[in-house]
Amino acid sequence: MTLRAFVLRGGGASVALDRLHVSTDVLGVVEGDDMVTVWLAGALPAIDFGEVVIEELSPEVANATATGLEHDVPILVASDLLVRPPWVDRPASFVGFELVVPRGMAFGSGEHDSTQAALLALHAAWCDPATFADVGTGSGILASYAWLRGCRRVEACDIEEPAVLAARELLPAAKVVLGGPEALPFRADFVIANLTGAEQHAALPAILELWTGCAPLVLSGMRAHEVDAVAARLPLPAIARARGAFTALTVLPRS
Protein backbone atom coordinates (compact mmCIF):
# COMPACT_ATOMS: atom_id res chain seq x y z
CA MET A 1 0.00 0.00 0.00
CA THR A 2 1.24 3.50 -0.84
CA LEU A 3 0.40 5.83 2.01
CA ARG A 4 -0.41 9.53 1.91
CA ALA A 5 0.88 11.77 4.70
CA PHE A 6 -0.53 15.14 5.75
CA VAL A 7 0.94 17.66 8.17
CA LEU A 8 -1.66 19.62 10.18
CA ARG A 9 -0.29 22.82 11.72
CA GLY A 10 -1.89 25.25 14.13
CA GLY A 11 -3.49 25.41 17.56
CA GLY A 12 -6.39 23.27 16.40
CA ALA A 13 -4.25 20.40 15.12
CA SER A 14 -5.12 18.07 18.02
CA VAL A 15 -8.86 18.74 17.59
CA ALA A 16 -8.50 18.08 13.87
CA LEU A 17 -6.83 14.77 14.72
CA ASP A 18 -9.80 13.81 16.92
CA ARG A 19 -12.15 14.51 14.02
CA LEU A 20 -10.03 12.40 11.69
CA HIS A 21 -10.05 9.54 14.19
CA VAL A 22 -13.84 9.34 14.03
CA SER A 23 -14.23 9.86 10.29
CA THR A 24 -11.53 8.05 8.34
CA ASP A 25 -8.75 5.46 8.20
CA VAL A 26 -5.87 6.77 10.36
CA LEU A 27 -2.93 4.43 9.74
CA GLY A 28 -0.28 6.37 11.63
CA VAL A 29 0.22 9.49 13.74
CA VAL A 30 3.21 11.49 14.97
CA GLU A 31 2.35 14.48 17.20
CA GLY A 32 4.47 17.55 17.94
CA ASP A 33 3.96 21.07 19.30
CA ASP A 34 0.95 22.51 17.40
CA MET A 35 1.64 20.00 14.63
CA VAL A 36 0.36 16.54 13.76
CA THR A 37 1.43 14.29 10.90
CA VAL A 38 -1.11 11.66 9.86
CA TRP A 39 -0.84 8.78 7.42
CA LEU A 40 -3.90 7.71 5.43
CA ALA A 41 -4.66 5.24 2.67
CA GLY A 42 -6.29 8.01 0.62
CA ALA A 43 -7.26 11.66 0.63
CA LEU A 44 -8.30 13.71 3.65
CA PRO A 45 -12.05 13.51 4.27
CA ALA A 46 -14.29 16.52 3.79
CA ILE A 47 -14.58 17.59 7.44
CA ASP A 48 -14.18 20.88 9.31
CA PHE A 49 -10.48 21.28 10.09
CA GLY A 50 -10.90 24.71 11.67
CA GLU A 51 -7.95 27.11 11.43
CA VAL A 52 -5.49 24.34 10.62
CA VAL A 53 -2.96 24.68 7.81
CA ILE A 54 -2.65 21.44 5.85
CA GLU A 55 0.37 20.32 3.83
CA GLU A 56 0.64 16.99 2.01
CA LEU A 57 4.06 15.38 2.02
CA SER A 58 5.49 13.96 -1.17
CA PRO A 59 4.88 10.22 -1.73
CA GLU A 60 8.60 9.55 -1.32
CA VAL A 61 8.67 11.24 2.09
CA ALA A 62 5.31 9.82 3.20
CA ASN A 63 6.42 6.26 2.58
CA ALA A 64 9.94 6.62 3.94
CA THR A 65 9.22 8.02 7.40
CA ALA A 66 7.93 6.54 10.66
CA THR A 67 4.17 6.17 11.00
CA GLY A 68 3.99 5.89 14.78
CA LEU A 69 3.43 2.12 14.79
CA GLU A 70 6.87 1.58 16.25
CA HIS A 71 5.76 3.44 19.38
CA ASP A 72 2.74 1.21 20.08
CA VAL A 73 2.48 -0.28 23.57
CA PRO A 74 -0.10 -2.48 25.33
CA ILE A 75 -3.00 -0.39 26.62
CA LEU A 76 -4.37 -1.27 30.05
CA VAL A 77 -7.94 0.01 29.73
CA ALA A 78 -8.95 -1.47 33.10
CA SER A 79 -7.08 -3.59 35.61
CA ASP A 80 -8.43 -6.71 33.89
CA LEU A 81 -8.82 -5.40 30.31
CA LEU A 82 -5.88 -5.08 27.91
CA VAL A 83 -5.82 -3.97 24.27
CA ARG A 84 -2.81 -4.39 22.02
CA PRO A 85 -1.95 -4.74 18.33
CA PRO A 86 -0.51 -8.12 17.29
CA TRP A 87 3.02 -6.74 16.91
CA VAL A 88 3.15 -5.79 20.63
CA ASP A 89 3.73 -8.48 23.25
CA ARG A 90 1.32 -9.13 26.11
CA PRO A 91 2.83 -8.10 29.47
CA ALA A 92 3.85 -11.21 31.38
CA SER A 93 2.15 -9.99 34.56
CA PHE A 94 -1.26 -9.28 33.02
CA VAL A 95 -4.21 -11.42 34.12
CA GLY A 96 -7.59 -10.71 32.56
CA PHE A 97 -9.40 -10.24 29.26
CA GLU A 98 -7.28 -9.32 26.25
CA LEU A 99 -8.20 -7.83 22.87
CA VAL A 100 -5.64 -8.20 20.07
CA VAL A 101 -6.62 -5.82 17.29
CA PRO A 102 -4.52 -4.73 14.30
CA ARG A 103 -4.54 -1.03 13.56
CA GLY A 104 -6.66 -1.17 10.42
CA MET A 105 -8.98 1.78 10.98
CA ALA A 106 -9.63 4.64 13.36
CA PHE A 107 -9.09 3.50 16.97
CA GLY A 108 -7.88 0.15 15.67
CA SER A 109 -5.40 -0.44 18.46
CA GLY A 110 -7.58 1.11 21.16
CA GLU A 111 -5.21 4.02 21.64
CA HIS A 112 -7.80 6.79 21.43
CA ASP A 113 -9.51 7.98 24.62
CA SER A 114 -12.93 7.73 22.96
CA THR A 115 -12.43 4.01 22.31
CA GLN A 116 -11.09 3.47 25.82
CA ALA A 117 -14.13 5.20 27.34
CA ALA A 118 -16.39 2.97 25.24
CA LEU A 119 -14.47 -0.15 26.25
CA LEU A 120 -14.58 0.81 29.94
CA ALA A 121 -18.35 1.20 29.77
CA LEU A 122 -18.79 -1.99 27.72
CA HIS A 123 -16.58 -4.02 30.04
CA ALA A 124 -18.32 -2.73 33.18
CA ALA A 125 -21.82 -3.33 31.82
CA TRP A 126 -21.26 -6.68 30.09
CA CYS A 127 -24.12 -9.08 30.84
CA ASP A 128 -23.89 -11.90 28.24
CA PRO A 129 -26.55 -10.48 25.87
CA ALA A 130 -28.12 -12.63 23.20
CA THR A 131 -27.64 -9.93 20.53
CA PHE A 132 -25.18 -7.04 20.15
CA ALA A 133 -24.96 -4.06 17.77
CA ASP A 134 -22.01 -1.71 17.25
CA VAL A 135 -22.87 1.60 15.56
CA GLY A 136 -19.93 3.39 13.97
CA THR A 137 -17.77 0.32 14.34
CA GLY A 138 -14.49 1.63 12.84
CA SER A 139 -12.04 -1.28 13.02
CA GLY A 140 -14.63 -3.43 14.80
CA ILE A 141 -12.88 -3.46 18.17
CA LEU A 142 -16.11 -3.14 20.21
CA ALA A 143 -17.90 -5.79 18.15
CA SER A 144 -14.84 -7.99 18.57
CA TYR A 145 -15.11 -7.62 22.35
CA ALA A 146 -18.71 -8.86 22.23
CA TRP A 147 -17.82 -11.83 20.04
CA LEU A 148 -14.86 -12.84 22.21
CA ARG A 149 -17.07 -12.63 25.31
CA GLY A 150 -19.38 -15.22 23.77
CA CYS A 151 -22.14 -13.29 21.97
CA ARG A 152 -22.84 -15.13 18.72
CA ARG A 153 -25.26 -12.69 17.10
CA VAL A 154 -23.19 -9.57 16.48
CA GLU A 155 -23.92 -6.85 13.94
CA ALA A 156 -22.15 -3.60 13.19
CA CYS A 157 -22.34 -0.65 10.83
CA ASP A 158 -20.25 2.27 9.64
CA ILE A 159 -20.77 4.98 7.05
CA GLU A 160 -17.19 4.57 5.76
CA GLU A 161 -16.58 1.65 3.40
CA PRO A 162 -12.92 1.14 4.50
CA ALA A 163 -14.18 0.74 8.08
CA VAL A 164 -16.74 -1.85 7.00
CA LEU A 165 -14.07 -3.81 5.13
CA ALA A 166 -11.67 -3.64 8.12
CA ALA A 167 -14.36 -4.79 10.56
CA ARG A 168 -15.37 -7.67 8.29
CA GLU A 169 -11.74 -8.76 8.09
CA LEU A 170 -11.33 -8.61 11.87
CA LEU A 171 -14.64 -10.35 12.61
CA PRO A 172 -15.87 -12.35 9.60
CA ALA A 173 -18.63 -14.04 11.61
CA ALA A 174 -20.37 -10.72 12.34
CA LYS A 175 -22.90 -8.99 10.12
CA VAL A 176 -21.23 -5.70 9.14
CA VAL A 177 -23.10 -3.30 6.85
CA LEU A 178 -22.40 0.05 5.20
CA GLY A 179 -24.64 2.77 6.61
CA GLY A 180 -26.11 3.97 9.88
CA PRO A 181 -28.09 2.11 12.56
CA GLU A 182 -31.21 2.07 10.38
CA ALA A 183 -29.32 -0.21 7.96
CA LEU A 184 -28.82 -2.98 10.53
CA PRO A 185 -30.96 -6.05 9.87
CA PHE A 186 -32.23 -6.83 13.38
CA ARG A 187 -32.84 -5.15 16.72
CA ALA A 188 -30.24 -5.82 19.40
CA ASP A 189 -30.32 -6.19 23.18
CA PHE A 190 -26.94 -4.56 23.84
CA VAL A 191 -26.21 -1.53 21.65
CA ILE A 192 -23.05 0.58 21.63
CA ALA A 193 -22.29 3.66 19.52
CA ASN A 194 -18.92 5.42 19.52
CA LEU A 195 -19.66 8.67 17.67
CA THR A 196 -19.06 12.39 18.01
CA GLY A 197 -21.62 14.42 19.94
CA ALA A 198 -23.16 15.78 16.72
CA GLU A 199 -23.34 12.28 15.26
CA GLN A 200 -24.97 10.96 18.44
CA HIS A 201 -27.71 13.57 18.14
CA ALA A 202 -28.32 12.78 14.47
CA ALA A 203 -28.35 9.00 14.94
CA LEU A 204 -30.08 8.80 18.34
CA PRO A 205 -33.65 8.13 17.11
CA ALA A 206 -32.43 5.21 14.98
CA ILE A 207 -30.17 3.96 17.80
CA LEU A 208 -33.07 3.94 20.27
CA GLU A 209 -35.24 2.14 17.71
CA LEU A 210 -32.48 -0.45 17.25
CA TRP A 211 -32.18 -1.09 21.02
CA THR A 212 -34.59 -3.63 22.53
CA GLY A 213 -33.94 -2.35 26.07
CA CYS A 214 -33.13 -5.85 27.31
CA ALA A 215 -29.43 -5.09 27.94
CA PRO A 216 -27.39 -1.89 28.37
CA LEU A 217 -27.08 0.93 25.86
CA VAL A 218 -23.66 2.64 25.65
CA LEU A 219 -23.06 5.95 23.87
CA SER A 220 -19.44 7.10 23.68
CA GLY A 221 -17.35 9.66 21.79
CA MET A 222 -18.70 12.82 23.43
CA ARG A 223 -16.65 15.62 24.90
CA ALA A 224 -17.60 17.00 28.30
CA HIS A 225 -19.67 19.89 26.97
CA GLU A 226 -21.72 17.53 24.77
CA VAL A 227 -22.72 14.99 27.41
CA ASP A 228 -25.67 16.70 29.11
CA ALA A 229 -27.53 17.41 25.87
CA VAL A 230 -27.26 13.79 24.74
CA ALA A 231 -28.16 12.45 28.21
CA ALA A 232 -31.28 14.62 28.27
CA ARG A 233 -32.62 12.78 25.21
CA LEU A 234 -32.23 9.31 26.70
CA PRO A 235 -35.28 7.43 28.01
CA LEU A 236 -33.61 6.57 31.35
CA PRO A 237 -30.83 8.05 33.53
CA ALA A 238 -27.31 7.24 32.36
CA ILE A 239 -24.04 6.42 34.12
CA ALA A 240 -21.10 8.50 32.86
CA ARG A 241 -17.54 7.19 32.55
CA ALA A 242 -14.74 9.43 31.28
CA ARG A 243 -11.36 8.67 29.78
CA GLY A 244 -9.30 11.73 28.96
CA ALA A 245 -11.47 14.25 27.11
CA PHE A 246 -14.19 11.75 26.20
CA THR A 247 -17.20 10.38 28.06
CA ALA A 248 -19.31 7.26 27.62
CA LEU A 249 -22.91 7.11 28.85
CA THR A 250 -24.40 3.78 29.94
CA VAL A 251 -28.16 3.26 30.18
CA LEU A 252 -29.00 0.08 32.08
CA PRO A 253 -31.79 -2.27 30.87
CA ARG A 254 -35.39 -1.33 31.37
CA SER A 255 -36.85 -3.14 34.39
Return the CATH number at 117. 3.40.50.150
pLDDT, mean of residues 48-69: 78
pLDDT, mean of residues 194-219: 96
Tens digits of per-residue pLDDT, 129-168? Answer: 999 999 999 888 899 999 999 999 999 999 988 788 878 8
Amino acid at 26: V
Reply yes or no on whether the pLDDT at 242 is more than 60.
Answer: yes
Question: Which of 60, 61, 62, 18 shows the shortest CA–CA distance to 43?
Answer: 62
Residues 50 and 147 in one domain: no
Q: What is the pLDDT of residue 105?
A: 41
Q: Are residues 28 and 86 in the same domain?
A: no
Whole-structure pTM value: 0.73
Is 251 in contact with 235 (CB distance < 8 Å)?
Answer: yes
Count of domains forming the chain: 2
CB 120 within 8 A of CB 250: no
What is the residue-averaged pLDDT of the chain? Answer: 87
Q: What is the pLDDT of residue 111?
A: 66
pLDDT at 2: 74
pLDDT in tens, 162-205: 788 878 888 889 999 999 999 999 999 999 999 999 999 999 99
Q: 230 by DSSP, 3-state: which?
A: helix
List the domain range (segments joined by +) for residue 16. Answer: 4-66
Q: Please compute the mean of the pLDDT values over residues 218-239 and round it to a whole number.
A: 95
Other Cβ atoms less than 10 A from the Cβ of 251: the count is 21
Are 250 and 121 in contact by the 8 Å Cβ rule? The answer is yes
> What are the helix (H) ranges across the chain?
13-21, 59-62, 113-125, 141-148, 161-170, 197-210, 224-231
Last residue of a domain, one of 33, 66, 99: 66
What's the average model confidence in pLDDT over 29-45?
A: 83
- Give the C-alpha separation, 35 to 54, whole Å: 10
Give the domain-ending residue among 43, 66, 89: 66
CA–CA separation, 255 and 252 (whole Å): 9
- Cα torsion 163, 167, 172, 178: sign: negative
CA angle in degrees (0–180, nearest 5) for 117-187-155:
60
Under the banding of pLDDT at 50, 70 and 90, the label for residue 106 is: very low
Give yes or no: residues 198 and 230 share one domain.
yes
Residue 119 has pLDDT above 60, yes or no: yes
Residues 173 and 244 in one domain: yes
Q: Are residues 150 and 41 in the same domain?
A: no
Q: Residue 65's pLDDT band (boundaries 50, 70, 90)?
A: low
46, 171: one domain: no
Residue 13 has pLDDT above 80, yes or no: yes
The contacts found for 164-170 with CB under 8 angstroms, 24 or more apart, are 164/137, 166/25, 166/104, 166/105, 166/108, 166/138, 166/139, 166/140, 167/105, 167/137, 167/138, 167/139, 167/140, 167/143, 168/140, 169/104, 170/101, 170/102, 170/104, 170/139, 170/140, 170/141, 170/144
Could you give the count of Cα atoms lying within 13 Å of 9 in the half-sphere of its Cβ?
Answer: 6
Give me the mean pLDDT over the 3-7 stretch: 88
